[in-house]
């Protein structure tokens, strides 16, 4: 085994170990609304469930040269965002939205995606997604950083509305094969759902 003390590596080296090890990562496609009303959307693979009681999810938005990305700034200023599950049929469009664009340019329009009004919050969702979760910002935690300013904003969202494609919903469960989720590996690599198997948990 190779033993590595992260303190002896720079940020990029530690980043590479993390993104290559924590795989496959689910991808949230997050829409937010700027203070000027521009609909913003971008993918985030530092994403997971926090708790089901009440339903909460977390997305970690890294800062860029110490500056908050539009997603973090908008989610914090509006207190709302929509998280969509990335899937095979719109992953190319999602990828297009990851370009660094000025805050007044809507990535949604640029990628040819369709905005859809939310039911419980003012931030629209993306119609192409087959699962979307309207979220109210529960907490935004500035974390990390070695020079006194944080390296990321951890957005914790409370889900106030689920929207699920009829074809994927069966008696309270989600059809994983129908969803065709896409996950992130390191670099530009992605993975589809692989071979599935069952392990019965001991009682
Ligand atoms: C598949 C994928 C996953 C990504 N995951 C993250 C992530 O977890 N955290 C992050 O800060 N940026 C992530 N990015 C980069 C952001 O999507 C990118 O910086 C985007 O421009 C941010 O948009 P915004 O400035 O509109 O918020 C990811 C990009 C891709 C393509």
CA dihedral 39, 42, 44, 48 (to 10 degrees): 30
Rounded to the nearest 5 degrees, what angle is found at the Cα of 49, between the Cα atoms of 141 and 99? 65
For the chain, how long is the longest CA-to-CA vector? 54
Does residue 137 register a pLDDT over 90?
A: yes
- What are the two backbone dihedrals, phi and then psi, of residue 4, each rounded to the nearest 5 degrees? -125, 125
Look-up: residue for tokens 């999602």? 94
pLDDT of residue 99: 87
pLDDT of residue 70: 95
Domain with residues 22-191, CATH architecture: Roll (2.30)
Q: Which atom of ligand 1 is nearest to the CA of 63?
A: 11
Mean pLDDT of the chain: 96
| % of the chain beyond a pLDDT of 90 | 92
pLDDT of residue 151: 97
Confidence of residue 168 (pLDDT cuts 50, 70, 90): very high
pLDDT tens per residue across span 12-38: 999 999 999 999 999 999 999 999 999
- Residues 27 and 47: beta-carbon distance below 8 Å: yes
Find the 174 Cα to ligand 1 centroid distance in Å. 26
E strands, 110-179, are: 115-116, 125-126, 131-143, 152-164, 169-170, 173-174
For the segment 47-61, the average pLDDT, to the nearest whole number, is 98
Helix (H, G, I), strand (E, B) or coil at 97: coil
pLDDT of residue 147: 79
Look-up: residue for tokens 């009829």? 166
Nearest CA to ligand 1 atom 24: 70
d(C-alpha 44, C-alpha 200), whole Å: 31
Q: What count of other Cβ atoms lies within 10 Å of the Cβ of residue 168? A: 18
Q: Which residue among 43, 70, 75, 99 has the greatest number of ligand 1 atoms within 8 angstroms of its CB, and so is best to mutate? A: 43
Sort strands 47-52 and 169-170 into parallel, antiparallel or unpaired. Answer: unpaired
Find the 94 Cα to ligand 1 centroid distance in Å. 10
Find the 8 Cα to ligand 1 centroid distance in Å. 27
Pocket lining: 153 vs ligand 1, CB cutoff 6 Å = no
| % of the chain beyond a pLDDT of 70 | 100
pLDDT tens per residue across span 67-125: 999 999 999 999 999 999 999 999 999 999 998 888 888 889 889 999 999 999 999 99
Nearest to 184 by CA among 21, 14, 10: 21
- Residues 113 and 162: beta-carbon distance below 8 Å: no
pLDDT of residue 132: 98
Find the 95 Cα to ligand 1 centroid distance in Å. 9
d(C-alpha 95, C-alpha 88), whole Å: 11
Helix (H, G, I), strand (E, B) or coil at 16: helix
């Amino acid at each position: 085994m190779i033993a590595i003390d992260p303190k002896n590596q720079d940020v990029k080296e530690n980043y590479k170990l993390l993104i290559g090890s924590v795989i496959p990562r689910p991808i949230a496609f997050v829409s937010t609304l700027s203070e000027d009303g521009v609909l913003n959307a971008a993918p985030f693979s530092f994403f997971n469930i926090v708790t089901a009681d009440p339903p909460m999810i977390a997305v970690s938005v890294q800062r860029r040269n110490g500056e908050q990305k539009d997603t973090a700034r908008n989610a914090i200023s509006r207190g709302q965002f929509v998280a969509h599950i990335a899937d095979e049929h719109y992953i190319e469009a999602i990828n297009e939205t990851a370009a660094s664009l000025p805050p007044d340019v809507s990535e949604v329009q640029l990628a040819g995606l369709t905005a859809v009004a939310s039911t419980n919050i003012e931030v629209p969702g993306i119609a192409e997604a087959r699962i979307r979760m309207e979220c109210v910002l529960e907490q935004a935690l500035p974390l990390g950083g070695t020079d006194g300013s944080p390296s990321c904003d951890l957005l914790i969202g409370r889900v106030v509305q689920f929207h699920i494609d009829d074809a994927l919903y069966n008696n309270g469960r989600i059809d994983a094969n129908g969803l065709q989720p896409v996950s992130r590996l390191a670099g530009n690599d992605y993975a589809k759902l692989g071979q599935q198997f069952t392990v019965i948990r001991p009682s």
